[in-house]
Structure 1
């Protein structure tokens, strides 16, 4: 349309969606009209050469969690100073061997397998990041039920999903607990989720005592999985509950509770995953997860120790005798520690290091100051 402003970023994305990466131009230069020959054909020799400022303008910084992560992998593998969304993997120095190495890093970080053929089709950074996001969010058949962080660490720590239902929320915690291999579960639908999670724990670490951790609703789920594993004869080293209220009687959450719950969750999940797609995909599971926890009270007593890390304003809600506290949940010991930040802030960068240190001390059996 005459006079309309041209967005190079939007145009390049549209071309990348419609063409193989090698056909997407490296530079875009705006002209008022195409020069024509006397025969009415485009005069290629009369077209202006790409200018330096056009090349500079072509750089698009990574934004989403997947784009930022992909850019870091490219920069490390290919020795780049910076990788932009429109950059092509092979044009930037990549090779088939490098691509295989990239696939390994992606599977290690996100717990997903992206076919080599798919990445050959979308060789821009933006395209590759989108392909990984599709896999992680479960829009393809190859979704993995958990993510593994610090894969080289020997000490396992199973982390159960909060209301958002995605293991990505434990990325920061893993970075603060380098000695632990965090197996962060994604959401599993259905009323048989406790036994299915227990099966996954047993398959991942077949022998020896294992610690379980859960934030928000994940704490309630971790307790139930611990009960199931102990019933199977498995030893649980520790259950760490991050600001989860214990449910002792079954209940059905009403419409207003669900509405408020989903409003808070939408903001919180997007903050931690950096992805609109992840947020939209898991919101549909959130209400089912809350209803499941409502009809699955945390009764009984574990043989394992249970420790609770509360938010900084609610420690009094976990005192003995207060409904929702975890007193009586363990036959060998129960501790309540006051953490840092409000419930929604406990895994934020500002408070996470101190909360992670408290978790580490609990797992190591140290006195938490």
Structure 2
């Protein structure tokens, strides 16, 4: 990383301010992003010019500017409003929710894709073992199947998006989402047709975070049940315990992944996987990042290194909502190794910058971590 840190700093700035995806935007949005590109963010003036790795780490941890996030959410709402008008006219009741990195506030791009769940409210499935099902509160079961309902909903959404946003690009090739970008849209939006699935827990609590959504993978075709709101709730709760450090660690990992991919590596860990991995880190050490920000870097490095070195343990770890194991495929350990090695290098380089008068390196990452986790960076 030492040899390309200046390039990575530029990539970080471009990613955060949206110029990396300038071609995906409307002309008006493009002008706004280019204007914002002239504004210097606070992290760009932290640490000294002789400490570029430290500066990169501090920048990679920060949340995307509120204005960029607001525009992403407003664009998703605009797309949702068009879909609702069309589906209402077809007497098909729908509702909308956001899922993914934007509502969780772990997105790393100023121009972020937004996942818009488009939920068919006229159809739902439910767990037969749940309280409501056992007490016959659902009435007669529909003769329709999830695949029928979601295939029909997807077709309607594709037609509506093409009619309502004629200057935009509508990419319907994705197996789970319809991507729309450009034209008059300020941000790309991924429309995900879905319906509710009332889990056993939801039937008892009626809390939305316990409610699943069923989505369609049209390439099979098959349906997939997800708990996106439970994932968001649990990550948020753990991040509160970590005084904001968990989200910073997730963003740090995602920026490392983005740089590695830009440099030609394949990192087969999704944003969901990365959030799930860091969910199992030491929250108390991450919490110390409130005062000693580099402690977040050191705990992130330690945790990734430990998981790769203890793969039997890593294989036992579940995603926060408990629906599957994080490392459910062998290739994920190769991705973990790439992420871990780059984080090791980052710790070494930051240690050098923070300890310029030490002529001899110990060579031990544990010693670097101990040295860095109580450093205050101005």
Fold shared per TM-score above 0.5: no
Task: Please classify the TM superposition score into its range, dividing by the shorter chain length.
Answer: under 0.3
Between Structure 1 and Structure 2, whose CA radius of gyration is higher?
1
The two structures have a TM-score, normalised by structure 2, of 0.25
- Higher normalized helix content (fraction of residues): 2
By relative contact order (CA 8 Å, sep 6+), the higher-ranking structure is 2
- The TM-score normalised by the length of structure 1 is 0.25
